[in-house]
Every structure is written in C-alpha cells, then in structure tokens.
Amino acid sequence: MRLPNCGLHYRRGANNIVSVNALKESANLSFFKGVLLSDPHGVLEQQGNVHSGRIMRFTNREDIQNIRDILKSCIQEAITIEESGMKGMLE
C-alpha cells in the first residue's frame, strides 16, 4: 500500500479520539483511549510503551475490508467512551 506519510485526527471537543496515520509499511488507526475498548476480536495492539493507546495496523486494503464492521464498532465505542468522560490509564 503506497500512501504518503500523513496523519488525520478525529476529535470530540478538545479531546482526541482516533487518528489515522499512513506510514511506509502500513496504515495505522490509533485509539487514544484504546485500553478502554472491549476488543472482543483481538484486533487492537499495544504500541511500544504507550499505556492507554491501542492501534490497528493495516498493510493492504483487503485487511480493512475484512474487518470493516469491527472497525466501525471500535470507532463508535471510542466515541461513546469519550462522551461518557471515562479516563484512560494516565489521565
């Protein structure tokens, strides 16, 4: 997947909810409070030493298409968590 290095952030008010980052080898969807997501399908990964955040890594379009409904569900859950005022591990 060839995408330029860039990033988009979805915010609710002043709070970040999710970001999309296009990297050389993958595209990542990063959830700022990902540790609070239920993740019943095990699609979220912890990235490095980040305690609260979780990512979904995609290396081709088919990966995205295959988990499209799960992806939508995670985004909606992240919005619900932010609207509820729940705090991540380090907040």
Q: What is the DSSP secondary-structure string of 24-55?
A: SS-EEEEETTGGGS--TT---B--TT-SS-EE
Burial class (CB in 10 A: 0-12, 13-18, 19+), 16: middle
Among residues 64, 66, 45, the alpha carbon closest in space to that of 56 is found at 45
Q: Is the pLDDT of residue 6 over 60?
A: no
Q: Is the pLDDT of residue 48 over 90?
A: no
Q: For all residues of the chain together, what is the average pLDDT?
A: 86
Q: What is the pLDDT of residues 60-70, one digit of tens each?
A: 999 999 999 99
Q: Is the pLDDT of residue 54 over 80?
A: yes
Separation in Å, CA 87 to CA 7, 34, 38, 52, 90: 24, 11, 15, 9, 8
- Give the pLDDT confidence score for residue 2 in this predicted structure: 44
pLDDT band at 81 (very low <50, low <70, confident <90, very high): very high
pTM of the model as a whole: 0.82
